[in-house]
Amino acid sequence: MSSDEIAIRVQGLSKCYQIYDRPQDRLKQFILPRVRPLLGKSPRNYFREFWALRDVSFEVKKGEVVGIIGRNGSGKSTLLQMICGTLNPTSGSIQTQGRIAALLELGSGFNPEFTGRENVYMNAAVLGLSKEETDARFDEIAAFADIGDFIEQPVKTYSSGMIVRLAFGVIAHVDADVLVVDEALAVGDAVFTQKCMRFIRSFREQGTLLFVSHDMSAVQNLCQTAIWLHQGQVRQRGTSKGVGEAYLQYTLQEVYGSAEKLISVGQDVPKDALSAQPEHADETEKVETVDAPILEYGARFSVRDNLAQAKGWTTGAAEILSVQLERQDGKDAASFEGGERVCLRIRAKAHQFLASPILGFLVRDRLGQDLFGENSLPFSSASLTPVNAGQEFEAKFVFRLPMLPNGDYAITAAVADGTLHANVEHHWLHDAVIIHVSSSKVRWGLVGVAFESVSLIGCEEGK
């Protein structure tokens, strides 16, 4: 790949911190390494090394959207600070092209004694804007931040949310080529977070984005690829969906510890698994909805069993045998339109005694966003139904199938044992069932609603 196509190139990047157990060890480290050789003694260090990053290498193409995930302390913030130039690496190199705007730790780059206005001008200058350019954009920055008269007050009087508002207002108006966002949106209120997400979605159409978050749905929604950092090293890089699923399994294993061992099962879902075309010949055929009063949506659902190719993990204590979606009106089970009553059946088998078995599911879109789901716990907690080793058991979920926009969807199924706050996922399968929706007229949102009627009438003036 030519250098002109690369926005960020990281090669062999490492960062080591010196950890001192006592304050006097810093003084010893400053003096004694110079003195000991003069006394004929071998030099020694009075600190411990902590490698926040070690030998990290990757490239980000221009226009690419990359998610950075990992546990706290894995090196994510250290990596971003070095990419932004606020931290020097111990070894390795970083090459970037274009102006980089970053929203890193809360309040980083702000002087708490300066007013919001003064900090806007200071940050804009650091990012390469002249005073005249900042003057021309200040009103837009202030409107985006929407903190009112507080913009004339010292930043030390701001709440955490106000600091994020002001910081994001600046980076949104400096014409950056590369945008770096490090979990800062977690402290914003819902309205402002939505505003920021709209800006990010717009920015990714012409810029390069590095997005750090613990919200896997947000990463899969925004990012094409993801990098998983673990103990300062790249553990995995690939599609945001694949990396997110692997990270989910890892974090759950960390919660269980040595009590349960999660073993990966299944194969990678074929690339065309979530884009397979329905087998019926006429994809544009309009099907009448089940209930006459609702509007005609003309959707056609193709449901395909993908259990044999599904991947996930298992502890060996229980196994999902089948996941089936059935109509409740007696019509052809292979044809769905949306809006009809359906039954999702999940059948499993226990390989050891389960005191409080739980079966559940999630329906996700192609970006991995959770649309809806349920489990048997709310309905079985009042009267527990333990199962013995070798026994099969089944959960039935009856609901009205939503109106889904055009696209591909997957049903994730799981069997667990325990309570709401303390349970073990014994078998988890991503993409157990694939749903393809074609010829849908649902145009807005993630899930459509079965509208009974839509009308437009004129109103008399003043009424």
Residues 6+ apart with CB under 8 A from 106: 160, 163, 164, 184, 187
CA dist., res. 280 & res. 59, Å (int): 43
Residue 270: the pLDDT is 41
One domain, residues 157 and 227: yes
Residue 107: the pLDDT is 60
Q: Which stretch of DSSP H or E encloses residue 234? A: strand 233-239
Three-class HEC string of 178-228: EEEEECHHHHCCHHHHHHHHHHHHHHCCCCEEEEECCCHHHHHHHCCEEEE
Residue 341: the pLDDT is 86
Q: Which stretch of DSSP H or E encloses residue 331? A: none
CA dist., res. 118 & res. 136, Å (int): 15
Beta-strand (E) ranges in 316-406? 318-327, 341-350, 357-365, 370-375, 392-400
Residue 295: the pLDDT is 59
190, 192, 198, 204 alpha-carbon torsion, rounded to 10°: -110
Q: Is 253 exposed, middle or buried (0-12, 13-18, 19+ CB in 10 A)?
A: middle
One domain, residues 354 and 389: yes
CA dist., res. 17 & res. 218, Å (int): 32
Residue 351: the pLDDT is 96
Total of domains in the chain: 2
Strand, coil or helix: 135: helix
CA nearest 101: which of 9, 5, 172?
A: 172
Residue 382: the pLDDT is 67
Does any domain span residue 252?
no
Tokens of 163: 């600091």
Does any domain span residue 215?
yes
User: Domain residues for 370?
Assistant: 263-438
CA dist., res. 415 & res. 391, Å (int): 14
One domain, residues 211 and 336: no
Residue 10: the pLDDT is 93
Tens digits of pLDDT across the chain (463 residues): 666 788 999 999 999 998 998 888 888 888 888 887 777 788 788 888 899 999 999 999 998 999 999 998 899 989 998 998 888 999 999 999 988 988 876 666 788 899 999 999 998 898 888 999 999 999 999 998 889 999 999 999 988 888 888 988 898 898 889 998 887 666 656 667 767 878 888 888 889 999 888 888 788 888 889 999 999 999 999 999 889 889 989 988 888 887 778 888 865 444 443 333 333 333 333 333 334 445 566 667 888 888 988 889 999 999 999 999 888 877 666 667 777 888 999 999 999 999 999 999 999 887 677 889 999 988 776 677 889 999 999 999 999 888 888 778 889 999 999 987 888 999 999 989 988 887 556 656 777 776 676 767 877 776 6
What's the helix, strand, coil split of the chain in %, to 5? Answer: 25, 35, 40
Residue 276: the pLDDT is 37
One domain, residues 78 and 214: yes
Does any domain span residue 369?
yes
Written as one letter, the residue type at 373 is G
CATH number of the domain within which 18 lies: 3.40.50.300
Asked which of 198, 219, 247 is the last residue of a domain, the reply is: 247
Tokens of 19: 């950890």
One domain, residues 224 and 79: yes
Other beta carbons within 10 Å of 445:
9
